[in-house]
Structure 1
């Protein structure tokens, strides 16, 4: 069979402190796969996951990946193709609790695999499986909080940990914590907790000016230094960051020295990270990592279409698209405080233009909305293999923080 690969996306699973715990891997079968035999489809799934897991450090930040397996995959031992250190075996809700499945899961546990039940709904047929299960995932769109709390209470004397799926906002996150969930899935933490009707401070405007400067491929370091020098907080953060680098064999005493030491590519990554974290030090680290990943992904995508000159704007657009959750401000208010081009503004607010399409592509990948993704890729003439390369490159870039 052809080894043509499709797109693998990752969705973060976080803990109660909003720190990254693991990722769920979700993949889209290419159009040709729709007509393959069941066995060929499983081989394709294996290829997709292997490609992603081969670069585990870069793609998964050294975390485990939850991988969905259908009934036949489990019976035929497909999970054994992967290391038990790399994956959590996720049993899909479509699987029937047969003797055959019980034996397959028992063998997984004997070989130290972690096992999760997806979209679990209690029934007597699943009772004997529970001693083999490490995680149970509950869909908050299908079950009420009261129902979830009841299920969790029934397992309070077990070692099973519960994952809440499809959390939509921070209020729901707090409720899920109170219910007894251990881990949480959904991009709720990127949404503003409280929209504040305020203007950006002068310091914040400086930070966004700086972000715009470092978004350019040919960074004008002297201009970057001018902005940093006039902001004491940014100056101290940059110096502390560079001087804490274990590879440094001498002390850096000026921001100009620090920038020269970093070099252009690291300036972009680290200046974006440290300056934005200075804006909202109480926000979870994963927001900043997702922000950087999306910014780099948009830049990579722009470099692979017929308008590579958009790459600089694409990086800034990707970064700004997630900043409202960092500042707890409406995106429109943030944009109105900055001097942005119409191209970036239209992309951010209305998803218009090529940049708007690239931003929509990134969002579709993050949410594994494959139906939406396909026409978007056609519009900008991007092939799935190219997109997968862009995803891997952006993940690798951020993993080297």
Structure 2
């Protein structure tokens, strides 16, 4: 090769070695200083395998190249120390060397310094190994997590079965108890004194609260297990609201509260809902409003078409109660979540009411949200889909 070619090869950190058919070095050039660090200088006349021990074991391939049976042979990521004992990486390619008549008379071995690429490849391999180890660790943790989840699911199923069974078994005796108390209060077994009447009313209220708790537990269990279905029918929502309000008047009257329904000016279209579940939605909101409102407070139930949501009727339940602390907004619709301020108004409950209400609203395809000012009151909103007009 010419001096110019050697300069170009040196600049690109490429060296070449030419060996004859006996694998003796007959020429070298380019960045031949690559071999000086291997203590094999000078290299002319020496055995190829002596200056390139990386080729030991590849003699058969070299013979095939000399015989024309193999076009080339490559070794990637050959590692050698540089002049300062720094690690270096090379790509070694061996090809046939031809004389002027085109006959193969030896081999040419091209060394290219790929240290930078080799370092990147080494880092990549290291990261790949680290990722593999992390993946194994993650897979192991996922397996353990899956096993734990399966165990938790089994426990959750057992819990749901127990709660459902317990609530169901409590229902019958509670119904019998309230029936006999009603008979006593009606005088079926003789007249009662004022103190006896008041005591029985206290017992009746306690049984009523216990029935509400068992009913909530049953509904929550059906929601969790996906066994709660809505039987939708065309319903006059205002009539349903007035029935619910009438049912809860005794509860609010016991706290000297006002419970009113704002009658809309225009006639409202019917909605599509499960009347039992819709009554529970409105009832839960009214009951909550009463619980978290002090004596002589006011609860207002409204109904109408919400602007921008013409396909739904909106029910609102506003109170003048203690409001909701902003820090507890995110917890409000979670199971067994109760306000930290509940003791201010002696509000009893299990913390299931709003969780159940949200689930029932979503079962109807509606949504629920609220607005609140602490110590000023809250307003809860729910929507029900308007029944399509077949005409």
Q: TM-score range by the shorter chain?
A: under 0.3
TM-score, normalised relative to structure 1: 0.22
Q: Name the TM-score, length of structure 2 as normaliser.
A: 0.22
- Tell me which protein shows more helix as a share of its residues: 1
